[in-house]
């Protein structure tokens, strides 16, 4: 077992990172003030790992994991964790699937082995596969009744032309009906292997106990399989305005979402720069677009901006809820404000405000073992875990000149995708 | 199983200042931050006159937008340049201001929240802006089928009662609100003897008292008494209503008039909602989702309320499964009145509820919130210890008896494509 040291010496990394001989990564942090432990297991097996025809498989598999293994009956894990006062859940994204439990430290040895076993040895029984598919179809139906979800799916298809990020994580009903349990087993045995997994343990457990428990629970993996290959092509840059309009029933407000592609997680500094720009544009009451569009000109019900860091082409969005008649004007104002970011340096006071907001937001969102485990696992899956703690330092170090360069590079007022939803 | 976390592990101090402010302090050195919650008791939706529904929400939307000394922009800049979070919210049974800062910034932000609470000006332009935005939000609620069904249920269960209306009010009532109404509301509820302040974080008892004294110590109790109000009584009159919409799923919600937090049945109903609706091992999840694949979302909840709370259970399902889902949901709920829970089932539900209750007090925000809330409900901070004890004592006989008394006559609200 090899201990990996943080790449940057000046950063004191509060957790320890280990790699087992089989390739599994363990991240551990002991917090002595809490009796709670969180175990969060991250797998590089999100929707982007699916062959195109297998769309929806990663998320459907996340559901099927909870249907047990040869050693753990259906519902046995759920009962073990909840009957001992703990909580378990899971989530799937394009870049990952992760499975987490929160429990009293004393209960970890009675619960983590169950979770490890169903993760490593999911049975995926045929009859359960068919039953659970109905649940996934209900999840899709329910999402389709949410106009903001529908809008976001449309936007992803609009902006991503080649990358799997264009696909819905939930998949499509038609394709889901064609998937077989054997294909799912193949997907599972290809991806749920040690080199693709990170086990994060944070909370009231000491290092030796943590490592030994993970060692015991995550020793035997399934026999490897090999999925049909999936090729991820780099997303080409936008060279025009990709415009899309949808008419939806039952919506009271129109929506406008403008989006830009940027770097992947390997270029964290630019990503954090885009985070700062999203705060400056529409991340708070003082931000430029909230002040102008919501408070002064009163053209929108709300306006927001978001940067979501992904493994590959990350996504920067600006969204507004508004009356259909104001769509053109609001789009034009947003373009003008982007042009301003290119033309003029952000005043120091305004930049400091955005830095404080993001810096403190980081402190506020790393308070509990669950939040910490999530941050470590996420960064280790899409980039490197050390980057997680560089975030606050980078936030404070980026200059107005750098932000101007970043705005210039990524946020073009001429080339973007725009998805508009109008009431039918 | 035992899990003692957060507030139950730390020293909790409760004192009443000379001007009537109740101050709760939890010193928690774990992280470099302080959370403060400022509860105005007996404010919130529950004491609104129906023609003024939405008043508390509008006060919350405008109160941070101007004081005698500061404009809306001044306030926002002060908060954001500190990187703090400061907000106001109207809730069902109380009105709340909240503050979260890194420890070092707490005194200056406390000063600011003091000024907002004591001398807001409710500028006329801000009132008009927030009224218009609130009306748009009320319309936007109609975009989500669950909200449509829940609004309908609430109106069926609580006619002529504040719980029957959304916290936002209605388009009509909000349109009728004026700046004078907001000022009147402020004069009525914002007074030191109606305030409970709950603080958790990196701060000592002495520091907290001295800071609060400095900001609020000279706030006098006004000569007029706090208003006394009487709640309208509710009668159980079950009905069923449907709204036709072109949705992909049918939403079915069952509602039962249950009881307030002061009732001896409260812990029993909490345990029942946990047993039915909480988590992957809950009865509804296992029977209707895992075994029948009828739904992605099926659950139950029973909120903690000052007056008669609803017990709610819901399912979203494919339109062709509406009937079978409805029967399934009803059967599972009524089963509790007919069949006694086994010792294992009962103990499992208790373990789950108590574990999650403890896990719900991990952050300073959560600790400050729950203690301040209990204080504002008049239960006192002891309720944080009493509640787990009460849960531990619930018997299967009580579960059956309470299910029999409350959970047999549902109000039913549905939204979906096949109702006419």
Chain A: residue nearest B133 by CA? A301
pLDDT, one tens digit per residue, over B258-290 is: 999 999 999 999 999 999 999 999 999 999 999
Q: What's the confidence (pLDDT) of residue A11?
A: 59
Q: CB contact, 8 Å: B318 with chain A?
A: yes
pLDDT, one tens digit per residue, over B109-126 is: 999 999 999 999 999 999
Q: How far is A135 from chain B (nearest CA, A)?
A: 5
- Band the pLDDT of B42: cuts 50, 70, 90: confident
Q: How far is B225 from chain A (nearest CA, A)?
A: 37
d(CA B29, CA A33): 9
Q: Is A345 helix (H, G, I), strand (E, B) or coil?
A: coil
For the entire predicted model, the pTM comes to 0.95
- Return the domain boundaries, chain B: 2-216, 240-419
Per CB-CB distance under 8 Å, the chain B contacts of A139 are 296
pLDDT, one tens digit per residue, over A92-147 is: 999 999 999 999 999 999 999 999 999 999 999 999 999 999 999 999 999 999 99
Q: CB contact, 8 Å: B217 with chain A?
A: no
- pLDDT above 80: residue B3: no
- pLDDT above 50: residue B385: yes
Interchain proximity B140–A252, CB inside 8 Å: yes
Interface of A with B in 84-103 (CB under 8 A): 84-89, 102-103
pLDDT, one tens digit per residue, over B206-240 is: 999 999 999 999 999 999 999 887 888 899 999 99
Q: How far is A134 from chain B (nearest CA, A)?
A: 5
Q: What's the confidence (pLDDT) of residue A266?
A: 87
Chosen for mutation from A138, A302, A319, A396 (greatest number of chain B CBs closer than 10 Å) is: A138
| ipTM rounded to 2 decimals | 0.94
Residue B252 near residue B322, CB atoms below 8 Å:
yes
- A vs B: CB pairs below 8 A: 177
Chain A: residue nearest B78 by CA? A353
Chain B: residue nearest A356 by CA? B83
- pLDDT above 60: residue B308: yes
**Mode of pairing for the β-strands spanning A25-30 and A16-19:** antiparallel
d(CA A82, CA B355): 8
**Mode of pairing for the β-strands spanning B240-244 and B411-416:** parallel
Q: What's the confidence (pLDDT) of residue B8?
A: 45
Q: What's the confidence (pLDDT) of residue B418?
A: 77
Q: How far is B289 from chain A (nearest CA, A)?
A: 7
Q: Is A305 helix (H, G, I), strand (E, B) or coil?
A: strand
Q: What's the confidence (pLDDT) of residue B7?
A: 42
Q: CB contact, 8 Å: B200 with chain A?
A: no
> What homologous superfamily is domain B2-216 in, according to CATH?
Metalloenzyme, LuxS/M16 peptidase-like (3.30.830.10)
Q: What's the confidence (pLDDT) of residue B238?
A: 96
pLDDT, one tens digit per residue, over B138-154 is: 999 999 999 999 999 99
The DSSP secondary-structure symbol of B319 reads: G
Q: What's the confidence (pLDDT) of residue A7?
A: 44
Per CB-CB distance under 8 Å, the chain A contacts of B71 are none
Q: What's the confidence (pLDDT) of residue B82?
A: 94
Q: CB contact, 8 Å: B8 with chain A?
A: no
- Band the pLDDT of A1: cuts 50, 70, 90: low
- pLDDT above 90: residue A164: yes
Environment class of B228 (CB within 10 Å of its CB; exposed 0-12, middle 13-18, buried 19+): exposed
Interchain proximity B318–A284, CB inside 8 Å: no
Please name which of A112, A110, A173, A118 lies closest in space to residue A140, comparing C-alpha atoms. Answer: A173
Query: What mean pLDDT comes out for the span A40-55?
Result: 96
B240-419: CATH, from 3.30.300.30, 3.30.830.10, 3.40.630.30, 3.40.50.2300: 3.30.830.10
Q: CB contact, 8 Å: B404 with chain A?
A: no
Interchain proximity B294–A285, CB inside 8 Å: no
Indicate the residue of B80, B133, B295 with minimum beta-carbon distance to A138: B295
Chain B: residue nearest A353 by CA? B81
Q: What's the confidence (pLDDT) of residue B2?
A: 42
Query: What mean pLDDT comes out for the span B387-401?
Result: 98
**Mode of pairing for the β-strands spanning A2-4 and B85-90:** unpaired
Q: How far is B237 from chain A (nearest CA, A)?
A: 31
Contacts of residue B83, defined as CB under 8 A and 6 or more positions apart, other chains included, come to A353, A355, A356, A357, A358, A359, A360, A361, B101, B102, B105
**To the nearest whole percent, how much of chain B has pLDDT over 90?**
94
- Band the pLDDT of A3: cuts 50, 70, 90: low
pLDDT, one tens digit per residue, over B314-338 is: 999 999 999 999 999 999 999 999 9
Chain B: residue nearest A360 by CA? B83
Residue B266 near residue A51, CB atoms below 8 Å:
no
Q: CB contact, 8 Å: B125 with chain A?
A: no
Indicate the residue of A85, A138, A364 with minimum beta-carbon distance to B354: A85
Chosen for mutation from A60, A107, A135, A275 (greatest number of chain B CBs closer than 10 Å) is: A135
pLDDT, one tens digit per residue, over B161-209 is: 999 999 999 999 999 999 999 999 999 999 999 999 999 999 999 999 9
Domains B2-216 and B240-419 share a fold: yes
Q: Which residues make beta-bridge pairs with A321?
A: A255, A302
- pLDDT above 60: residue B48: yes
Q: What's the confidence (pLDDT) of residue B419?
A: 67
Q: In the sheet where A197-203 sits, what is the strand order? A: A2-4, A16-19, A25-30, A197-203, A36-43, A97-104, A87-92
d(CA A299, CA A329): 9
Interchain proximity A34–B352, CB inside 8 Å: no
Chain CA centroid to CA A348, Å: 31
Mean pLDDT of chain B: 95
pLDDT, one tens digit per residue, over A98-110 is: 999 999 999 999 9
Q: CB contact, 8 Å: B59 with chain A?
A: no
d(CA B185, CA B193): 15
Per CB-CB distance under 8 Å, the chain A contacts of B363 are 367-368
Q: Which residues make beta-bridge pairs with B87?
A: B98
- pLDDT above 60: residue B6: no
Mean pLDDT of chain A: 95
Interface of A with B in 132-191 (CB under 8 A): 132-139, 141-142, 144-147
Indicate the residue of B100, B142, B355 with minimum beta-carbon distance to A252: B142
Q: In the sheet where B298-301 sits, what is the strand order? A: B240-244, B411-416, B250-257, B310-317, B298-301
φ, ψ of residue A247 to 5 degrees: the values are -110, 125
- pLDDT above 90: residue B296: yes
Indicate the residue of B129, B293, B351 with minimum beta-carbon distance to A132: B293
Interchain proximity B359–A36, CB inside 8 Å: yes
Q: How far is A312 from chain B (nearest CA, A)?
A: 30
Q: What's the confidence (pLDDT) of residue B9?
A: 54
């Amino acid at each position: 077992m090899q201990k990996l040291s943080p790449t940057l010496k000046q950063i004191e990394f509060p957790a320890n990172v280990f790699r087992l001989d089989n390739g599994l990564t363990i991240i551990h942090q002991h917090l002595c003030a809490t009796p709670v432990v969180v175990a969060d297991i991250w797998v590089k097996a999100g929707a982007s790992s699916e062959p195109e025809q297998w769309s929806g498989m990663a998320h459907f598999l996340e559901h099927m994991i909870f249907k047990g293994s040869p050693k753990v009956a259906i519902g046995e894990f759920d009962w073990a964790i909840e009957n001992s006062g703990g909580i378990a859940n899971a989530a799937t994204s394009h870049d990952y699937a992760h499975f987490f439990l929160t429990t009293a430290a004393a209960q970890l040895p009675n619960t983590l082995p169950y979770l490890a076993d169903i993760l490593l040895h999911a049975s995926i029984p045929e009859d359960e596969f068919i039953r659970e598919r109905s649940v996934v179809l209900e999840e899709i139906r329910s999402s389709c009744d949410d106009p903001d979800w529908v809008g976001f799916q449309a936007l992803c298809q609009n902006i991503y032309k080649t990358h799997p990020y264009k696909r819905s994580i939930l998949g499509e009903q038609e394709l889901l009906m064609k998937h077989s349990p054997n294909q799912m087993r193949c997907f599972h045995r290809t991806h749920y292997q040690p080199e693709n997994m990170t086990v994060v343990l944070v909370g009231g457990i000491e290092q030796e106990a943590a490592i030994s428990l993970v060692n015991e629970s995550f020793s035997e993996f399934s026999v490897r399989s090999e999925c049909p290959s999936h090729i991820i092509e780099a997303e080409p840059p936008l060279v025009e305005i990709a415009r899309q309009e949808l008419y939806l029933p039952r919506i009271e407000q129109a929506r406008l979402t403008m989006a830009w592609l940027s770097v992947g997680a390997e270029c964290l500094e630019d990503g954090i720069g885009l985070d700062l720009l999203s705060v400056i544009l529409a991340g708070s009451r003082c931000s430029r677009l909230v002040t102008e569009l919501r408070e002064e000109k009163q053209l929108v019900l709300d306006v927001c901006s978001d940067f979501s860091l992904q493994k590959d082409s990350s996504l920067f969005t600006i969204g507004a809820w508004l009356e259909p008649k104001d769509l053109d004007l609001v789009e034009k104002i947003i373009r003008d404000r982007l042009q301003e970011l290119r033309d003029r340096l952000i005043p120091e006071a305004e930049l400091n405000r955005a830095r404080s907001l993001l810096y403190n937001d980081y402190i506020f969102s790393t308070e509990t073992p669950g939040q910490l485990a999530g941050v470590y696992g996420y960064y280790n899956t899409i980039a490197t875990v050390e980057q997680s703690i560089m975030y606050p330092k980078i936030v404070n170090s980026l200059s107005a000149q750098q932000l101007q360069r970043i705005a210039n590079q990524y946020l073009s007022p001429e080339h973007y995708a725009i998805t508009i939803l109008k009431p039918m | 199983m035992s899990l003692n976390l957060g507030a139950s592990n730390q020293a909790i101090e409760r004192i009443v200042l000379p001007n009537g402010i109740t101050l709760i302090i939890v010193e928690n050195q774990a992280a470099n931050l302080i959370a403060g919650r400022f509860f105005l008791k007996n404010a919130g939706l529950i004491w609104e006159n129906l023609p003024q529904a939405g008043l508390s929400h509008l006060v919350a939307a405008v109160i941070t937008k101007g004081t005698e000394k500061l404009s809306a922009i001044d306030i926002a800049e002060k908060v954001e340049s500190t990187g703090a979070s400061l907000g106001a919210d109207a809730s069902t049974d109380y009105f709340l201001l909240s503050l979260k800062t890194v420890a070092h910034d707490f005194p200056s932000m406390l000063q600011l929240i003091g000024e907002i609470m004591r001398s807001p000006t409710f500028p006329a332009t801000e009132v008009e802006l927030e009224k218009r935005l609130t009306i748009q939000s009320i319309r936007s609620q109609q975009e989500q089928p669950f909200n449509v069904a829940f609004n309908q249920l609430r109106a069926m269960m609580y006619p002529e009662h504040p719980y029957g209306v959304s916290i936002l009010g209605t388009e009509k009532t909000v349109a009728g609100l004026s700046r004078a109404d907001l000022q009147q509301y402020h004069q009525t509820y914002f007074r030191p003897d109606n305030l409970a302040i709950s603080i958790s974080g990196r701060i000592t008892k002495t520091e907290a008292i001295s800071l609060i004294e400095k900001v609020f110590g000279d706030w006098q109790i006004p000569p007029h008494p706090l208003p006394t109000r009487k709640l309208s009584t509710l009668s159980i009159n079950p009905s069923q209503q449907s709204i036709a919409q072109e949705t992909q799923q049918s939403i079915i919600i069952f509602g039962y008039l249950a009881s307030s937090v002061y009732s001896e049945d409260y812990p029993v109903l909490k345990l029942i909602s946990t047993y039915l609706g909480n988590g992957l091992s809950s009865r509804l999840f296992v029977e209707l989702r895992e075994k029948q694949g009828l739904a992605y979302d099926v659950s139950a909840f029973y909120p903690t309320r000052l007056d008669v709370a609803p017990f709610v259970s819901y399912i979203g399902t494919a339109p062709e499964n509406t009937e079978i889902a409805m029967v399934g949901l009803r059967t599972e709920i009524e089963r509790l009145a007919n069949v006694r829970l086994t010792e294992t089932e009962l103990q499992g539900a208790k373990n789950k509820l108590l574990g999650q209750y403890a896990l719900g007090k991990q952050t300073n925000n959560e600790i400050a919130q729950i203690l301040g809330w209990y204080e504002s409900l008049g239960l006192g901070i002891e309720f944080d210890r009493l509640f787990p004890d009460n849960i531990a004592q619930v018997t299967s006989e009580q579960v059956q008896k309470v299910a029999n008394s409350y959970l047999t006559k549902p109000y039913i609200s549905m939204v979906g494509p096949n109702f006419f």
